Amino acid sequence: MGRTGQAGGRVRGRRPAPFTTGRATLAAWLLTAATAGIPAIAEGQPPGPSDVILATTTSVQDSGLLDLLVPAFERATGYQLKPIAVGTGEALGLGRRGEADVLLVHAPAAEQAFLAQGYGATRRQIMHNDFVLVGPAADPAGARGSPSPGEALARIARAGAPFISRGDESGTHKLERTLWEQVRVIPRGRWYIEAGQGMGGVLRLADERDAYTLTDRGTYLALRQGLRLVVLVDGHASLVNPYSVITLSPARFPRVNHPGGQAFAAFLASAQAQAIIREFGRERFGQPLFVPDVIR
Amino acid sequence: MDLLWSGLLQAIRLLLAGDPEVLEITGLSLMVSGGATLVALLVGVPAGTGLALTRFPGRNLLITLVNTGMGLPPVVVGLFVTLLLWRSGPLGALRLLFTPGAMVLAQLLIAAPVVAGLTLAGIQGLHPQLRLQLLALGASPLQAVWVLLREARLALLAAVMAGFGAVISEVGAVMMVGGNIRGQTRVLTTATVLEARMGHFELAIALGVILLALSFGVNLILTALQQRR
């Protein structure tokens, strides 16, 4: 029942519905749409530089951190933030087409390429946590105590023990592929399961199948109550998981809301946001889920 | 089973307590899907009636297209509408992506063929002599169509229910074009996906129960309209 109270309390504690203003517009576009057909739907939702589209990753949303950062940003700046939670690959893809105004992602190599190709204007590391290899406590592949995360994966492959991959070009998936390359293993076979889901879904799948998987520690901690999976390998340098905010190139993307994107990037580096990040999860999980990197 | 039960209890609790966020999400679901169904009726009923009462070359092909459209996969519609509404896309200037308007547009594309297809079947299911008789009795063509639509009332209301049912329950299109943004584009189906992903199963079940209750309530009203004498 503790879970019930927690989940319910979380919802009740959310900010009041901003629909007092939205209702009139909704009614308006329903009316105009009904009389004039599809194009009229557009008129009810005024475009404007007050909207900021943030493309970010499911790990930031699934852990619950966004639910604290978004209202704080909106109160501090007056912008309205639209966070779209996708994999890092898709988030960078949205950025590459100028469909988002600012990115918060975690795949350093891909981010550097993004900037080198001229899509991004600025990139700043905001926070980090780390990746951990989780799996069944029985550890049939003997991954525990491996000298490196790559070696642990190689042991899983040799044992043919089930491993769930995100398989979605997310930051987690990119790191996983780097680790496989380090030990020159091409993961293939019935034991290697490509889920194509967010981190929460993959953890649950791994738990159901007694499989191994790579996860960021934040999502694992946030979901730990419902999981039997245990941490088998962590604390290695190659498992650090840095999150950076990227603003887009004004020269390349004239239609992007640059002031809004820059405002969000500045907000994440502010003392207020860094304090939110530092405290997030301490109460609920007994330890913070992320470590702020701008103000330590 | 414990989880199912406590989810059900939580649904009742959330509704009774008038949780503002749940109410808002429920309201948005109703407005988006209701709005899409309404516009789908305005497009689908005339289209279905027209197809039922006219004969022209290519008619069978068009009907086949409508019938195929009755099973449009929401994710495909979502992808298509997303491409249209991108800032760099043909309708990008509308700035509709990630707004409720985009969700109505996507659901309209899902519901309209359902309404058109069932209207077509309903009108064609009437006695073929009825229209000729009406015209012979001196009804204007419009009056005749009006009477036919009234006669096909059962089928038309079934079309409304099927159209609404198709869109209130879909998650693929609204997730893609709406983005599941809290307080802006989050509806019951996408909220359920998110809460389940976050491990809040009771809340996910509660939202599912509310979705079912909403659907039941709407269909109760429509059925009352359909079955009244």
A11 CB neighbours in chain B (<8 A) are 14, 19, 21-22, 203
* Percent of residues, chain A, with pLDDT higher than 90: 66
Nearest residue of B to residue A201 by CA position? B197
Judge contact between A151 and A292, C-beta under 8 A. no
pLDDT band at residue A7 under the 50/70/90 scheme: very low
* Measured distance CA(B58)–CA(B44) in Å, rounded: 18
Which fold would CATH assign to domain B2-227?
A: MetI-like fold (1.10.3720)
Cβ–Cβ < 8 Å for A245, A124: yes
Residues of A in contact with B43 (CB under 8 A): 37
How many Cα atoms within 13 Å fall on the side-chain side of residue B96?
A: 28
**pLDDT exceeds cutoff 70 at B173:** yes
In chain A, what are the domain boundaries?
49-129+240-292, 130-235
pLDDT of residue B84: 95
The answer to whether B88 contacts A98, with C-beta atoms less than 8 Å apart, is yes
Query: Looking at the predicted structure, is the pLDDT value of residue A20 above 70?
Result: no
The sign of the dihedral angle between the CA atoms of B102, B107, B113, B116 is: negative
User: What residue type is assigned to position A283 of the chain?
Assistant: E
Chains A and B form CB pairs within 8 A to the count of: 134
Q: CATH fold of A49-129+240-292, please?
A: D-Maltodextrin-Binding Protein; domain 2 (3.40.190)
* pLDDT, average across residues B62-86: 95
Q: Do B203 and A200 touch (CB under 8 A)?
A: no
pLDDT of residue B45: 97
Q: Kindly determine whether residue A82 and residue B23, on different chains, have CB atoms separated by under 8 Å.
A: no
pLDDT at B226 over 80: yes
Mind telling me how many Å the CA of B53 is from chain A's nearest CA? 24
Q: What is the pLDDT of residues A175-192, one digit of tens each?
A: 999 999 999 999 999 999
Shortest Cα distance, chain B CAs vs residue A52, angstroms:
11
ipTM of the complex: 0.73
| Superfamily holding A130-235 | Periplasmic binding protein-like II (3.40.190.10)
Contact B197/A201, CB-based, under 8 Å?
Answer: yes
Question: Which of the two residues, A157 and A222, has the higher pLDDT score?
Answer: A157
**pLDDT attached to residue B2:** 79
Residue A5 pLDDT exceeds 90: no
pLDDT of B88 higher than 70: yes
- Amino acid letter, residue A82: K
Whether A137 has a pLDDT exceeding 90, the answer reads yes
Q: Does residue A48 have a pLDDT over 70?
A: no
Q: Is pLDDT larger for residue A248 or for residue A7?
A: A248
Summarised one tens digit per residue, pLDDT across range A97-129 is: 999 999 999 999 999 999 999 999 999 999 999
The 10s digit of each residue's pLDDT in B101-147 is: 999 999 999 999 999 999 999 999 998 899 989 999 999 999 999 99
Q: Contact, A141 vs A272, CB < 8 A?
A: no
Q: What mean pLDDT value characterizes chain A? A: 84
Which residues from A are below 8 Å from B194, CB to CB?
61
Examine domains A49-129+240-292 and A130-235 and report if their fold is the same. yes
**Max avg pLDDT among A1-10, A268-277, B120-129, B219-228:** A268-277
Distance from CA of B156 to the nearest CA of A (A): 18
The mean per-residue pLDDT over the stretch B180-209 comes to 88
| pTM tops 0.80, yes or no | no
pLDDT at B174 over 60: yes
For B1-13, give the DSSP string.
Answer: -HHHHHHHHHHHH
Arithmetic mean of pLDDT over chain B = 92
Least confident residue range of A33-47, A213-227, A268-282, B45-59: A33-47
Q: Using 50, 70 and 90 to split pLDDT, how confident is the model at B229?
A: low
Chain B nearest-CA distance from A242, in A, is 21
Closest to A156 (Cα-Cα) out of A118, A190, A191, A186: A191
Contacts of residue A229 in chain B, CB cutoff 8 Å?
A: none
Ordered alpha helix ranges (H), B74-200:
74-85, 100-124, 128-136, 141-151, 153-168, 172-178, 188-197
Confidence of residue A36 (pLDDT cuts 50, 70, 90): very low
pLDDT at A2 over 70: no
